[in-house]
Structure 1
Amino acid sequence: MIKIFGDWDNSYEILPHYLEALKRENPGTVYEVSSDPVDGGERRFTGVFWAFGPCIEGFRYCRPLLSIDGTHLYGKYKGVLLVATGVDADGGLFPLAFAVVDVENTENWAWFFACIRYHIPSVGTRSITFISDRMKGIPRALQRHFPPPHAHRYCLRHIRDNFKKKYGNAQVQDLLWQAGCATEKYVYEQIRERIKFTSRAAHDWIETSLGPNNVDKWALCEDGGRRFCMMTTNASESFNGVLRGARGMPIQALVAKTFYRLNKFFVRRRELGENMRSQLTPKVDEMLAARIVQARSFQVVRYSFNEWEVLEGITHRENRSYKVNMLVDRTCTCTCNVPQLQLIPCSHVVAACSDLQGGARISHYEFVDAWYSAYNYQQTYKECFRPPYDSRHWTQDGPRILPPLYKRSAGRPRSVRIRNSMDDGREGARRRNKCSRCDQPGHNKNRCPVSIRR
């Protein structure tokens, strides 16, 4: 480990010099090393924040949305890696800012958000929506540095997982998920009534734990289009998985890993953007193509130059009616609420557009927001990373940084985490341990029947 990634203790000493080398070759890169003074003019490491210039510039063309999450480091020294991840025009994860702190608490989250607001102008000047789990320190920290008009939303997957610990009924869990993802208020209220009828205790948990005044934080129908139909923190958790191996490295190697990983992202996606021939990104084109097919079975009734009724179903009993409005400023609304929440026309709007004839014809592509455009995608990855100079060219100014006091005890740490649906590749599945001798589940090698027979 020392030969490949460097010494653990020395890594903290060279960290500021390495970050300064990155900043010198990559304009716009920002970092902040937090430390406490100790005797002899030295300082003790307490935390570090960093964000690369190309990411800061590219985030201006991403949706005003940040998924935030923390994950534990498992190297020689304890700590928590905090990550703020955006979403690009094609729905890909876009890591923006990182920090390493000792523990995940209100003060450290507040420091992380303060660094984001101070060092990344495109975050402070826009109304950003933050999606996170329900850790108590995050709302308090956000309230300090990102009060309204910024918004905070909960990850629905974490809510369902917490709900599952109290109520293992799979039917009620599915109903909770459906209520959170419902785009229509009428559908949301119907599902809530079904939850109340199925389990009064589950209904009371939702009212008590989530609160009747916080429906907008977890239910999509009350979101107002702030979360762009992104219901989970999968973006930040996915990047934590990308850095899984780096989380056991010395601190300077961890920062270097994020640098080279993001450079790889930018190179690959820059080439993908150059090959785009449509005005929209590939995933949005696929989504609209599916909605065009769906719209072909609808019945359309026009009432005025900008108002339609779209009917689903073949028989009168199956019909569900939706009201579509197309406004002069090239915006559209539908009673299904999808265009207002996602900023992409739903299948009902597509059907209404097909009803127009001649010069009055309007393409449904005109109602797709610019956040999903190929231009935004190309601009997101336009800036290039540049390699830093090696240690021979690093500056040696500043006090010596000592490693933190939160040192991990010797030996392999025992895993005490209880695995749940969020850790498994398939929702709701439980991973079963296998015997290392016969590769069969249900026992270990000490109780293996093969060895017993011998």
Structure 2
Amino acid sequence: MTTNLVECINFVLKGARNLPVTAIVRSTFYRLNELFTRKSAEAHECVRNGFMYSEFATKRVEESFRRAGNIVVNQFDRRNEMFEVRKMQDGSVYTVNLAQRHYDCGHFQVEQLPCHHVLACCANQHLDWKVYVHDVYKMSEICNVYRGEFVLMGDPSTWDRYEGAKVIANWTLRRATKGRPKSTRYLNEMDSRDMHGPHRCTVCEREGHSRSRCPQCVGPSSAGGH
């Protein structure tokens, strides 16, 4: 339920990214086991305390309730499905379709939670706003997420012999440990320096070195020694 899940994963695996592959898998396995055990206990504790929705959903709905007071609601059908809402602060107008769960502000489409426009319509027509909360925010669904249990790994010597496919490393794709990595970027007209080819010495006109490193160029120390 976050907007940047990759950064969360990187934070969890921050201390294990430089380890060998088997060590990373083992670390991830035990960390996930600890996470599922802790989150499952927290979810069941919330259910026992009478919480129906997650903390995120509860805070968003409470915030929307505080903003729903200054909204004028106009009903456009008898089935309590189409409404027009108008903000008193700036006079902006939005359309609310409860049947299709489509709101012009777009908050419901993103978060699957009733925004302050929908809460104003529900309060105006005495409707139950909980109907428009997605099941993913219910504590019962959250408990089901962490219901699974991990199987103990045990000692590797007791595992069954693996008879599947074998993965063979391609040594041609191995990155060089020394020197500057070879660039694989596609060049364009701005890369004029790289497109001109290798450097050519202005003294001997050979490639691979410059004038300052030319073996034919006599330096001041050599001149002083003769």
Q: TM-score range by the shorter chain?
A: 0.5 to 0.7
Which residue matches 2:88? 313
Which runs of 5 or more residues in structure 2 are unaligned? 182-226
Q: 1:266 offset after TM fit, Å?
A: 0.5
* Contact 1:332–1:345, Cα closer than 8 Å, also in 2: no
Change (3 A) 1:333 1:271: same
Which residue matches 1:127? none
How many residues in Structure 1 have an aligned counterpart in Structure 2? 173
Identical columns (%): 24
Q: Give the one of 104, 125, 138 matched to 1:373.
A: 138
2:77 and 2:168 mapped to 1: Cα distance?
A: 72
Give the aligned residue type for 2:14: R
2:166 and 2:109 mapped to 1: Cα distance?
A: 54
Q: 1:410 offset after TM fit, Å?
A: 6.6
Q: Report SS of the residue matched to 2:84.
A: strand
The two structures have a TM-score, normalised by structure 2, of 0.67
Q: Give the one of 5, 10, 15 matched to 1:240.
A: 10
1:292 and 1:243 mapped to 2: Cα distance?
A: 38
Matched, 1:339 2:108: yes
> Which of 1 and 2 has higher RCO (CA within 8 Å, sep 6+)?
1
Give the aligned residue type for 2:102: T
CA shift digits 1:259-278 (9 cap, x unpaired): 01111211111012102233
Structure (1 or 2) with the greater strand fraction: 1
1:397 and 1:270 mapped to 2: Cα distance?
A: 33
CA shift digits 1:108-167 (9 cap, x unpaired): xxxxxxxxxxxxxxxxxxxxxxxxxxxxxxxxxxxxxxxxxxxxxxxxxxxxxxxxxxxx
Q: How does 1:46-445 map to 2 (within 5 A)?
A: 91=1, 230=3, 234-276=4-46, 277-305=50-78, 306=80, 307-314=82-89, 318-327=90-99, 331-356=100-125, 361-398=126-163, 405=171, 406=174, 409=177
Give the aligned residue type for 1:296: G
Q: Report SS of the residue matched to 2:83.
A: strand
Q: 1:373 offset after TM fit, Å?
A: 1.8
CA shift digits 1:367-424 (9 cap, x unpaired): 112122222111111011122111231334559866663266279x99xxxxxxxxxx
1:404 and 1:241 mapped to 2: Cα distance?
A: 30
CA shift digits 1:164-198 (9 cap, x unpaired): xxxxxxxxxxxxxxxxxxxxxxxxxxxxxxxxxxx
Which runs of 5 or more residues in structure 1 are unaligned? 1-90, 93-229, 415-454
Q: Report SS of the residue matched to 1:304.
A: coil
CA shift digits 1:66-87 (9 cap, x unpaired): xxxxxxxxxxxxxxxxxxxxxx
The two structures have a TM-score, normalised by structure 1, of 0.35
2:176 and 2:52 mapped to 1: Cα distance?
A: 52
Change (3 A) 1:409 1:348: same
Change (3 A) 1:385 1:410: farther
2:69 and 2:20 mapped to 1: Cα distance?
A: 57
1:257 and 1:408 mapped to 2: Cα distance?
A: 28
